[in-house]
Amino acid sequence: MKCKTAVVGFGCAGYHAVKAMREHGYQGEIDVYTDTAWSPGNPMLTTYYIHGKISKAGTCPFGTMEEIQKQFDFRVISKAVDKVLSEEKRVRLKDGTLQNYDQILISTGASAFIPPIPGTHGKNVFSMRTMDDAEMVKQVLETEEIRSAVVVGASMVGIKLVELFHARGIHCTLVDMAPYIFPVAAVPQIACEIERRLKNMGVELAFSKAMQAVEDENGKKKVVFADGQTISCDMVMMCIGTRANTQVADEKIYINKGIVADNFMRTNMPDIYCAGDCSEGMNLQSGHTQIIGIWDNAARQGAAAGANMAGAETVYHGNMLHNITHFMGMDFIGYGDVRSEGEEFEYENKEKGQYFAVRVKDGVPVCMNFLDSYGASGVLKSYMLKKMTGSRDSLSPVARVRLKAEGIPEKLINLLMKEKEN
């Protein structure tokens, strides 16, 4: 068993790795390198902190660093890592010092991507990823008169900002280059229903708009679009995506868009593992590695990496694209690739406000959206994942009853059941 482990970055993936290492009996030293004073936090909760719904401690689901340290016995080195020197088995810190390791996990997450557009680094233009971002936005909202905001990026992050502004009575416009909301997760009909509800709540939407610049005009911000339209506001949030923090990996470590992992969360270099938003694991649907930048994936990848670092042989088969998000009284769940083709099934229960759309190819769902109708989603998701990992099992009778009770059309259930008979 390896005796000195380093973990670079201590968010969701780093935490789950350390937890799994100890749970699998690893007794060696663990050095955790972190560049933030924020105990492992959940970035999804930052907007609730800004709004005052939860405390700063409430954004840290695993407790304080001291509590976690007590539980899992590790050393915290509050310094940023500059490079993992893979052949020397050392890390170089940003202050130039070098530290040894026997095995290492890179779990550095991702950073908000700010496009090279004029004005995006100006006053009152922000992004949202870290607690520092949250503190800056909170301060501006509490000390300045912010009456209107533009959120650029109709993403899971963008919608959280829309929710925040709406809750504070700030007039908000959500803009995106895509023609509709959640373009990488939602099918057009579900997106259309979400948009209808947002508009009813007073949120302005401006889609198919390419932002060209953010300018200052008479003490306000002016967002300029390629079609000549402009929107005047007090604050701009940039939520157009993230980039994996792969800079710590040296040139020997294989990087695509993220650090590429095998099914054991190992990189191509010996004793170097990776997990979370900085890494590319298997997308079971496409059969290629891809960054799947969501909390659940970071947790599972981290846990698998940690178990393997402790000597257990734990395979992480991969995941599929998925999004689960709650905002403004709505629950949206999206599984699979929205670009995939197949026969489409839709269900709408206007009374309960429930909608879902499922696309099926060769008897297997390839893309599913649920709006306020999450009851069936777990059953269908596990069915979908089973199929992607080669299972020939069909829906169980219990699952069938559950789907029926949730209002899934008989035609779809029969289609899934039919597989067993073939």
Ligand X SMILES: Cc1cc2nc3c(=O)[nH]c(=O)nc-3n(C[C@H](O)[C@H](O)[C@H](O)COP(=O)(O)OP(=O)(O)OC[C@H]3O[C@@H](n4cnc5c(N)ncnc54)[C@H](O)[C@@H]3O)c2cc1C
List residues near ligand X by CB under 6 A: 8-14, 33-36, 43-44, 46, 80-81, 107-110, 128-129, 156-157, 160, 245, 248, 276-277, 293-296, 298, 324-325
- In the complex, what is the shortest distance from the CB of residue 32 to ligand X, in angstroms, rounded to a whole number? 9
State the minimum distance, in angstroms, from the CB of residue 223 to ligand X.
20
**Given the complex with ligand X, which of 43 and 336 has the nearer CB atom?**
43
Q: What is the 3-state secondary structure (H, E, C) of 270-284?
A: CCEEECHHHEEEEEC
CB-nearer residue toward ligand X: 10 or 383:
10
Nearer to ligand X, 31 or 364 (CB): 31
Cβ atoms of 192 and 216 closer than 8 Å = no
Whole-number Å distance between alpha carbons of 88 and 402? 55
Cβ pair 260, 311 in contact under 8 A: no
- Please, what is the minimum distance in Å from the beta carbon of residue 386 to ligand X? 21
- β-strand partners of 215: 222
- 153-180: b (≥16 Cβ within 10 Å) or e: bbbbbbbbbbbbbbeeebbbbbbbbbeb
Q: Based on the number of CB atoms within 10 Å of its own CB, is 384 exposed (0-12), middle (13-18) or buried (19 or more)?
A: buried
If the CB atoms of residues 43 and 281 are measured against ligand X, the closer one turns out to be 43
Nearer to ligand X, 80 or 417 (CB): 80
| Residue 293 to residue 278: CA distance in whole angstroms | 8
Separation CA 400–CA 406 (nearest Å): 10
Least distance (Å) between residue 191 CB and ligand X: 16
Cβ neighbours around 98 below 10 Å, total = 11
Residue 419 three-state SS: helix
Give 59 or 394: the residue with its C-beta nearer to ligand X. 59
What token pair was written down for 148?
A: 């209107």
C-alpha 161/C-alpha 46 separation (Å) is 10
Nearer to ligand X, 59 or 314 (CB): 59
Q: Between the CA of residue 138 and those of 46, 87, 173, what are the distances in Å?
A: 10, 44, 19
Q: How far apart are CA 253 and CA 266, in angstroms?
A: 11
Least spacing, CB of residue 102 vs ligand X, in Å = 19
Q: Which residue has the tokens 């407790």?
A: 63
Least distance to ligand X, CB of residue 240, Å: 12
DSSP structure class, residue 347: E
Nearest to ligand X of 125, 399 (CB atom): 125
Rounded CA gap, 1 and 121, in Å? Answer: 48
Minimum distance from residue 50 beta carbon to ligand X (Å): 10
Instruction: State in angstroms the smallest separation of the CB of 219 from ligand X.
Output: 28
Q: Which is nearer to ligand X, 186 or 324 (by Cβ)?
A: 324
* Nearest distance from C-beta of residue 279 to ligand X, angstroms: 8
